[in-house]
Structure 1
Amino acid sequence: MSDAFPIIRLRSRGGLPVARDGVVFSFFIHRNHEEVFSAVWRALQTYLRAVPPKSLNWYGADDGDTLPLDDKGWEVIREKMLERPWSLGCSVELSEDANEGEIAGGYQFEYHGRRLDDPFWEDPATAVSFTFPTEYLREHGPDHLRALAFKLAWELPFSFGYASLAVVAPYGYSFTSDWDLLDTLRDRYLGLDLYAVRRTAAVIGTHARSASWLTFLGQPLLGQLGGMDGLRRALPFPEVSLLPLDSQRLLISLSEWPEPIDIQQGGIPPQYRALALRLEPFLYEEPSDWPASYLYQWLRRLCP
């Protein structure tokens, strides 16, 4: 299955590498920043132990600059996440590189802590994401990534989360000049996630995003979907496994390997379609630079 993964290299208008193929884990937590910052910090430490040393080398400063993630930088991040829980929010972005080399970096951590009563956001949630280059998946295999996703999720009181093949863009898609290629990838590989965690965190609330290779359900979504028993009846496929983290949180694994869902090679796997249909009434509407009609269709791309 791993030989079916697309190889993606996107560049900026100036020729710098800005995006590549990889895997993203994203979790959305309907809690205030000060309620979850310590759990997110623990999850970050788990991620750092799992990836190669020095996988994260740069961080985004408050003034918009990108600075080296040395000992001084880590102290800035630790203080920002752990010692300022009274602030209105907290955003941390750590990345492998600063658009250097031939390929965009595959390792990235994002955290966007919110206050749910902040009127600036439409329907906010606190959000965190972790990314990996596809080579990490090929080297360690899907069982390793599934176990790591479970371990990260264990720390987090999420309402929704997922793991998926993705276009990993440490500095966002808006920098790319390869829009035609991005459109082609989007239309051909329905299992390829185009994520924007900061923007999604502003509007997702307690809603769902889409069906993915690994889909994490917390409350209230798990109850709204009929709980574990209801989901077992809705997903009677041999490839599907349901793994409870506890009575309030569940991991649904749809296949052994993440599916790129290449429509030139076949249709949508029935278990992906079934979960997408189950989630459809609970999807949110995501604002974006792309037209609203496109986003509506993309979020529902696995539905008939």
Structure 2
Amino acid sequence: MREDIPIIRLRNDYGTLVVRDGVILCFFMRRSHREVAHAVWRALQVYVRAIPPGSLNWYVSDDGDMLPLDDPGWEHIREQILERPGGGAWHVELSETPGGAGGYFFEYNGRKLDDPMFSHDDGATSAVSFSFPTEYLQEHGSGHLRSLALELGRELPFSFGYASLAFVSHPGSWYAVRMQLLEYLRRYLGLDLYWLGETSRVIGTRARGAYWLTFLGQPLLGQLGGIEVLRDKLSFPEVSFEPMEGERLLLTLDEWPDAIDTAKKVYFPQYRALAHLLEPHLYEERTGWFSLDKDNIRRWLRRLCQ
């Protein structure tokens, strides 16, 4: 168990918990929905089996309403992922709570990349995320979560993916407490702030940063020189390499994820070394979801390169 993972609970003006500490796993796939649908459904089943029964209780309907995730709800989700034929985009959200921030959350954004709707989005991807409360990590241990992340990654044809301590929130809900978040963002460099829908529109086959678990697919792994080059450049005792089928790689930067608390003046050279290797391959945000000044998110995404 790690004692130094911060406990974070941020509430909006109505007293609703909208941000909490947790772990996020994200995978980005430069594939159309029809190519990844079955893999996403299998990965969802892996996630559901791994978390406590009843951890996912609600889903977002086609009309945007929150509905109970009962047996008919699950059938709707199955049909939406596997059988819905038309449209240029697929969006699935499954959550622990009907509002606010629960620890367990599943999101999928599928896209038909040859649809004219995305003709201007040359970096569009299909993407999926899975979140966990910090308590899950503490109870089951980092080895269990790493094995689970690897199992999920094996199902998904990712170009890039990662697992990290994070500010867990429903998509975009953290914006209501963004001023409170700034203090935490400056202090904890190892906590991820994410918005899957926005990033998946632009990341393409590029990277998002250096994380506790960093999944490298093609063509990114090849652009970095391959596994042997990375072994040479990341020759730290904490770093491990897990080759995966399809010329892919899981990099583990330490036994446990770390918040990288700048108040403690700690230094994690393996994080910074990987960040520098990835810097030429980082994507650029095109919207102001993080800040109206896009330079803010550019600097934040490169925070470990300083």
Q: TM-score, normalised by structure 2?
A: 0.95
Letter paired with 2:50: A
Q: Which amino acid aligns with 1:63?
A: D
SS of the aligned residue for 1:230 comes to helix
Matched residue type, 1:293:
D
Q: 1:113 aligns with which of 110, 113, 135?
A: 110
CA-CA distance at 1:84 after TM superposition: 1.4
Q: Distance in 2 between matches of 1:126 and 1:248?
A: 20
Segment drifting more, 287-296 vs 20-29 = 287-296
Are the equivalent residues in 1 in contact too, given 2:58–2:98 (CA < 8 A)?
A: yes
1:297 aligns with 2:294: no
Residue of structure 2 equivalent to 1:12: 12
Match of 2:83 in 1: 83
| Cα distance between partner residues in 2 of 1:3 and 1:174 | 25
For residues 166 and 108 of structure 1, the distance between their equivalents in structure 2, rounded to whole angstroms, comes to 13
Q: How does 1:76-225 map to 2 (within 5 A)?
A: 76-99=76-99, 104-121=101-118, 122=121, 123-174=123-174, 176=176, 178-225=177-224
Q: Secondary structure at the match of 2:262?
A: coil
Residue 69 in 1 paired to residue 51 in 2? no
1:80-110 deviation per Cα after TM superposition (whole angstroms, max 9, x unaligned):
001014431210000000126xxx3100000
Aligned length: 300
Among all aligned residue pairs of Structure 1 and Structure 2, give the percentage whose two residues are the same amino acid: 59
8 Å contact from structure 1 (residues 37, 85) kept in 2: no
Identify the residue that residue 22 of structure 1 maps to in structure 2.
22
Query: Where does structure 1 lack aligned partners over 5 or more consecutive residues?
Result: none
Q: SS of the counterpart of 1:127?
A: strand
CA distance in 2, matches of 1:120, 1:237: 45
State the 1:47 CA deviation. 0.3
Q: After alignment, is 212-221 or 179-188 more displaced?
A: 179-188
Say if 1:202 and 1:142 are closer, same or farther in 2 by CA, change over 3 A: same
Counterpart amino acid of 2:106? Answer: F
* Alpha-carbon distance in structure 1 between the residues aligned to 2:132 and 2:264: 25
Aligned residue for 2:304, secondary structure, equals coil
User: 1:3 is paired with a residue of what secondary structure?
Assistant: coil
User: 2 CA distance for matches of 1:187 and 1:118?
Assistant: 39
Mark the CA change 1:119 to 1:284 in structure 2 (over 3 Å): closer, same or farther: farther
Alignment-derived partner of residue 54 in structure 2? 54
CA displacement at 1:11 relative to structure 2? 1.1
Distance 1:246 1:5, change over 3 A: same
The Cα RMSD (Å) is: 1.3
Find the counterpart in structure 2 of residue 250 from structure 1: 249
Query: C-alpha separation between the residues in 2 aligned to 1:282 and 1:212?
Result: 15
Asked whether the equivalents of residues 285 and 296 of structure 1 are also in contact (C-alpha less than 8 Å), the reply is: yes
Structure 1 ranges of 4+ moved more than 3 A:
118-121
Whole-Å Cα distance in 2 between the matches of residues 64 and 86 of structure 1? 18
In structure 2, relative to structure 1, the CA distance for the partners of 1:271 and 1:174 (3 Å cut) is closer
Change (3 A) 1:50 1:224: same
**Alpha-carbon distance in structure 1 between the residues aligned to 2:26 and 2:89:** 18
1:60–1:67: 8 Å Cα contact kept in structure 2?
Answer: yes
Distance in 1 between the 2:135 and 2:116 partners?
41
TM-score, with normalisation over the residues of structure 1? 0.96
Distance in 2, matches of 1:119 and 1:191, equals 38
One-letter amino acid of the structure 1 residue matched with residue 158 of structure 2? F
Assess, with a 3 A threshold, how the Cα gap between structure 1 residues 234 and 119 changes in structure 2: closer, same or farther: farther
The separation in 2 between residues aligned to 1:175 and 1:274, in whole angstroms, is: 31
Q: What SS class does the counterpart of residue 206 from structure 2 fall into?
A: coil
CA deviation profile, 1:220-254 (whole Å, cap 9, x unmatched): 00100011011101101000001011241100000
- Taking structure 1 as reference, are residues 175 and 57 closer, same or farther at Cα in structure 2, changes over 3 Å only? farther
Supply the AA of the counterpart residue of 2:18.
V
5+ residue gaps, structure 2: none
Structure 2: which amino acid aligns with 1:140? H
